[in-house]
Structure 1
Amino acid sequence: MKIYFLITFFILFASCQQFKSEEDLNYFQFEGIKIKELTNFNKSYVSKGSYKRGNDTVISMFEIESKYSLLVIKLKNVSKDYTLNYHSNVVSSSPGFFSVIVASEVYDVTLSPSIFKNDFKINNIDFTSENQISSEINNDTIKSFSLNFNEFKLKINDQDDKIVTTDRIEYYGLENLSANFLFYKIDDEIYLFIMTPNKGKGTLENDTLYNYLFPIT
């Protein structure tokens, strides 16, 4: 009976450990997403850490040339004809369980770990902000835009519990943060790049991020 109890305990413990490794976002200090392999990026950068879900790296943070912070989020199982919609001048709160990611010294990102599940299919994305969104590039592969934000939200498949969002920025009186956003689709994956100035100082030109990722050679 005692042996049976021990065997049952170890099976349950192993199952819990497997569930944790598959469902949780686990931080590690090394570079995860290889931005130089994804794009034509050829500048110097420093990895600020990454997050894994199981064995898959889904989030990475970088400092670019000591001037910019870059957050990269990988989304899988994206449909071929997915849609990305922009909505300015509105942001609403959402219920659910969220993980907090320190995106830079200036702002945090809150997201639903379930958006990284292997069986979650992404058909549409709605991006909302309380400020005006300036779209720059919009084609099947790249969608980019500029934004001065204090808050933004990315909602997937119109589900309130499938989001990437920010809390209001509270950093030495900073009211808005200049940013470039770029969605880059490769096969059934989307890489979301978010570039902001270090410490929130300065303003990004509309094509700063695009020119770093896809420089003219």
Structure 2
Amino acid sequence: MDGNGRWAKMRGLPRIEGHRRGEESIMEAVRVCAERGVKALSLFAFSTENWERPEEEVRFLVNMSRDVLRKRMEEFMRLGVRLRHIGRRDRLPPEILAWFDMAYEVTRANQGLNLNINFNYGGRAELLDACRKLASEVRAGNLSPEEIDEAAISSRLYAPDLPDIDILIRTAGEKRISNFMLWKLAHSRIVVTTVLWPDFGRRELEGIIDAYRREDAGMGSDYGGD
């Protein structure tokens, strides 16, 4: 979800106004994915590196996650969305964790789009945490080094049930992976658009989904999406 800061700067506005405008792009993406039968949408809302941003911006982004859950829960339920947090829980305020946990419990029985909020998330951090789990199990005698394979690593990621990601969408012309879900991106297609995230809407996302489905028609691929 890149380009919020640039969007605001182009209009002479504070950076947080770009994030605020980006909220509607988030909701439009959720609506499109729910309507089009996308199985999972993962949003990189806040990285482990984002703590280095200005304090005011960090505070706004943390509080924004709570506010989105609070304001949009009725719509999430109407769309049949299942919501969960992916990332480290340390450094997050108890109130924010409580909202993430509440959203998961309230929506867990829904049968529609799986909406993953990657918050305080880093791809390297996820792999590091998985390795630590494996090392702990080996040390405890519950696992032998010979038993460690791709399945063993995958099962110890933050969201082990999440399938590999089919498409990574980068807005604002960004061409980097940016430490996002490194394990799940092994075979993903990368789509780069110059559209800034606050301007990224239904037309852009539907075009990407339609192009992907046309290319994979008849191949039996399940669209997992990002």
Shorter-chain TM range is: under 0.3
TM-score calculated relative to the size of structure 1: 0.27
TM-score calculated relative to the size of structure 2: 0.27
Structure (1 or 2) with the greater strand fraction? 1
Structure (1 or 2) with the greater helix fraction? 2
Q: Which has the higher contact order (CA 8 A, sep 6+)?
A: 2
